[in-house]
Structure 1
Amino acid sequence: MTMNLAEQRNQPDLLAPAGNIESFFAGLEYGADAIYVGCRHHNARALATNFSLEEIARLKEYAHGHKVKLYVALNAIAREEELGELVHILASLSQIEPDGLIIQDGAIARLCRLYFPNLKLHASTLMTVHNSTGVEQLESMGFQRAVLARELTIDEITQICADTSLELEIFVHGALCFSYSGLCMASSFYGGRSSLRGRCVQPCRRLYRAGRQQGYFFSTNDLSAIGLIPALRRLGLAALKIEGRMKPASYVAAVVRAYRLVLDASEADEHEAIVEARDILREAYG
């Protein structure tokens, strides 16, 4: 694939989510440099529509025709009895050759390294990598990119960028987990559905009572780093990622449009672009 616009501008890719075909086209239309989709089996958003292997192959060709990268999420924990099926899925993906394969299970990383070395491995944020030593460990395991833990501060991200050579990606917008990403067991405990298997029922979003008080005590505000984009885009990050594979296409369109506006603004116009982008984001419902 020829160099995309972000590479030509020497700034991070804007990475958009697509849980269905409408969101895929919304991301393309409003300026995403890359789009990530879920394989219909074994991804951390099992309740999204997701895509078959045949659909992923077609999406990749279409995205590349528009100079946009396509990443595939295969980032659920794998059970022992699923390893055989995973080998077949990985074999198909190695033929498709997406621009990156987002995973969290070490077994999948090992299978790729042994049998499908052409697959470019991206460590999911669910691996909770939060320091430079963790990034170095991923590099030794054959990963090309680490999606850093969402709980990091901008100072911590800056330090990790300075101390490592691996491609780094961070989330800049979307829902946050009350627990550390990838470590929450509340859904399994209350609903019998594992968040590590992509089936979180989000007990943190429910109404609770404590004594005479009731409220949404565990429901976190969404991440929104639109005001930090001028600083973040100068750190040498590979990508700025939007969460939202469970969101509608209208949400994806609005959020991508807002972040594209700020990323494309000149230094002199950054403040005005951020103000306009915040107005757009206020209308983004998901």
Structure 2
Amino acid sequence: MTPIELLAPAKDFECGKAAVLAGADALYMGGPRFGARHKASNSLTDMARMSEFAHFYGAKVYAAFNTLLLDTELAEAQETLWQFYEAGVDAMIIQDMGILEMKLPPLPLFASTQTHNMTTEKVQFLEKTGFQRVILARELSLSQIKTIRSHTSIELEAFVHGALCVSHSGRCYLSYALGKRSGNRGDCAQPCREPYTLLDPQGTILEQNKHFLSLKDL
């Protein structure tokens, strides 16, 4: 049986250090830009420190580079990916498929959950494209994951703890529509966590101050 890797998020070096010392096999963390968690950005120096520390204990570090890019950012994005490589990370987690057209460092590519990986066909496509791992959509059931596993040979990653989005992974535009803060650009304001009042077509209040869009987390 293939051994299971226990992977933990690392907001910063201290969080990553704690996870490694607690037994995590690998970490994922964002760099200076282009990560899906804007408030969890790290300098390249800290990425290098984290890689060195993790490798000392036999753990790995994956760079989260999983936002959509603007055309004006492509040159900077490519430079940053090479800086990740120089910092010693072990793989890159990406969302924007335009990255595949870049001159990339020799690192494994992981398809972020932000790429909406819900079907066997999508995972097969990513496998043929050259990805080493697919991070599955958080909405999948165990039976759906089992079906995908039986029809693919690529590495699969699945979330077992954390927040769930009311929209399909990687397909939420509510934050941008309400406040011009895009979840696909690492700046989700999480409006789904706010209370709302439900009205009927005549304006009669049916429910007041309820969390209609906030799902029960994993």
- Same fold, judged at TM 0.5 (above): yes
1:86 corresponds to: 77
2:101 matches 1:110 = yes
2:171 corresponds to: 183
Q: Aligned AA for 2:7?
A: L
2:125 matches 1:137 = yes
**Contact kept in structure 1, 2:110 and 2:135, CA below 8 Å:** yes
Q: Distance in 2 between matches of 1:10 and 1:182?
A: 28
2:5 matches 1:13 = yes
State how 1:1-286 maps to structure 2 within 5 Å: 10-48=2-40, 50-111=41-102, 115-210=103-198, 211-214=205-208, 215-223=210-218
Q: After TM superposition, what 4+ stretches of structure 1 lie above 3 angstroms from structure 2?
A: none
Q: Distance in 2 between matches of 1:83 and 1:15?
A: 29
Residue 139 (structure 1) shift: 1.8
Between 1:187-196 and 1:207-216, the stretch displaced more is 207-216
Q: Aligned AA for 1:164?
A: T
Residue 109 (structure 1) shift: 2.6
Q: Distance in 2 between matches of 1:13 and 1:173?
A: 14
Residue 153 (structure 1) shift: 1.1
Summarize deviations over 1:162-221 as a string: whole Å, max 9, x none.
110111101111000010111111000111100000100011011111114120111111
Q: Distance in 1 between matches of 2:78 and 2:91?
A: 17
Identity across aligned pairs (percent)?
43
TM-score of the aligned structures, taking structure 2 as reference length: 0.92
Q: Aligned AA for 2:141?
A: T
RMSD: 1.4
How many residues are matched? 211
Q: Distance in 2 between matches of 1:134 and 1:14?
A: 24
**Contact kept in structure 2, 1:46 and 1:199, CA below 8 Å:** yes
- What SS class does the counterpart of residue 22 from structure 1 fall into? helix
Residue 103 (structure 1) shift: 0.4
Summarize deviations over 1:76-106 as a string: whole Å, max 9, x none.
1000100011121122123334221000000
2:202 corresponds to: none
Segments of 5+ residues of structure 1 without an aligned counterpart are: 1-8, 224-286
1:261 corresponds to: none
Q: Aligned AA for 1:18?
A: A
Between 1:74-83 and 1:90-99, the stretch displaced more is 90-99
Q: Distance in 2 between matches of 1:66 and 1:204?
A: 39
**1:20 and 1:117, CA in 2 relative to 1: closer, same or farther beyond 3 A?**
closer
Give the number of the structure with larger relative contact order, counting CA–CA contacts within 8 Å between residues 6 or more apart: 1
Q: Distance in 2 between matches of 1:22 and 1:61?
A: 13
**Contact kept in structure 1, 2:17 and 2:53, CA below 8 Å:** no
Q: Aligned AA for 1:163?
A: H
**Contact kept in structure 1, 2:127 and 2:154, CA below 8 Å:** yes
Q: Distance in 1 between matches of 2:147 and 2:136?
A: 12
Segments of 5+ residues of structure 2 without an aligned counterpart are: 199-204
The structure where helix makes up a greater share of residues is 1
**Contact kept in structure 2, 1:70 and 1:100, CA below 8 Å:** yes
